[in-house]
Structure 1
């Protein structure tokens, strides 16, 4: 689905590349076809009021809510759930299964250190969408997961600021050795996204770039 002219050029560029990557990956394996092409990662500092971005995302995208222990996590999670439902967008919660259940999320995103919990989570929550972070240094986790989020692809800020960027060639090589669909995260924006064409990524993920791109997108009524 192409976005209407009511979205910014940056939003359209990100969505076009994300959906093209997803289609290309699905042509090789059926698994990516069931996955959101675009993941918006929240951050208490870099993405204040994340529900405002969530309600502007295109249907079929997803939000990864990372509360990081914030005292207002439940309130924010419920506002995100309301916004994502209205927009036709999935909601994942970072690590916290109890919070995910409380806000009726669609699944969980696990940090790399917790990826081994995925089989147990899958047993307890069979229909959950489960993703995990991966930085490429170790054999990628597989069991119980639907997809991996590999970072940083390009020089990035936030928690990835001190990690060396993989670059397109490095990212592509890691995707080829992974047994799961892989999202590209880290420095991915409207200017860099197209460089990932042909990389094998199943979609794009981002924090500030997605917030900025969809800051003035069409809002559904």
Structure 2
């Protein structure tokens, strides 16, 4: 679908203009799956430009291994980085490049890193204290939310770009803005020295209208 690909390419280009001077191993644009707005990681990857990233949030789906394997195969072919959410076994069996950890699972990530895991780790962070915990756990990058007003049921009160910049000053980790990021709001993140953005609704590929759980 050319229009979806073009929209994703424009977001990737805008995200690339945000990157600060902190070393990071992830692309500047991370797209997250969602049971309502972005349910299919394979369709999502098909519409992403090379050099983008995907976080597959499976929410315990029965076909998650098959789906993850198909997504990883396509991601490797296209040059897209793919992580799975909160599931080390799924990451291992599918060959995913890494794991995304909800904030409440940062300690588990730290234990896995201490055992020698070299996978890419990202984590959600909703406070400055969580940023510090993520750094100690060996997390490679944090997704900080909620930055702008968001349609997600799990979204908290938006902090705005100035607060995001203040949070970034408390950590030397790569930080990604999550929550309400779209082609309009991403412009407000320029010059903040963050490493990129994480998006859901800004890249609606194959969206469906069934309610589902939330996972960050």
Give 5+ residue unaligned stretches, structure 1.
213-221
SS in 2 for 1:18: helix
User: Which structure 2 residue ranges, 5 or more long, are not aligned?
Assistant: 206-216
Matched, 1:169 2:162: yes
Partner-residue secondary structure (3-state), 1:173: helix
Using the TM superposition, give the Cα deviation of residue 100 of structure 1 relative to its aligned residue in structure 2, in angstroms.
Answer: 0.7
Deviations, residues 172-196 of structure 1 (Å, cap 9, x unaligned):
1111112311001100011111110
TM-score, structure 1 length as denominator?
0.84
* Structure-2 change in CA distance of 1:211 and 1:86 (3 Å): farther
Number of the residue aligned with 2:51: 60
Would the aligned equivalents of 2:26 and 2:81 in 1 still touch at CA under 8 Å?
Answer: no
- Structure 1 residue 12, shift from structure 2 partner: 3.9
1:104 aligns with 2:95: yes
Distance across 2 between alignment mates of 1:20 and 1:125? 33
Change in Cα spacing, 1:211 to 1:60, as seen in structure 2 (3 Å) is: same
Taking a change above 3 Å as real, the CA distance of residues 73 and 193 of structure 1, as seen in their structure-2 partners, is same
CA contact (8 A) 1:152 1:160 kept: no
Pair 43,5 (structure 1): closer, same or farther in 2 beyond 3 Å: closer
For 1:43 and 1:170, locate their aligned partners in 2 and report how far apart those are by CA, in whole Å: 26
Query: Alpha-carbon deviations, 1:109-166, whole Å to 9, x = none?
Result: 00000112222222445321101000126341212110100011100122433x1001
Alpha-carbon offset, residue 7 of structure 1? 4.5
Cα distance in 1 for partners of 2:118, 2:82 equals 13
Residue in structure 2 matched with residue 91 of structure 1 by the alignment = 82
- Give the match for residue 189 of structure 1: 182
Where in structure 2 are the equivalents of 1:23-172 lying within 5 Å? 25-26=20-21, 29=22, 31-32=23-24, 34-136=25-127, 138-140=129-131, 141=133, 142-143=135-136, 144-161=138-155, 163-172=156-165
* 40-49 or 119-128: bigger deviation: 119-128
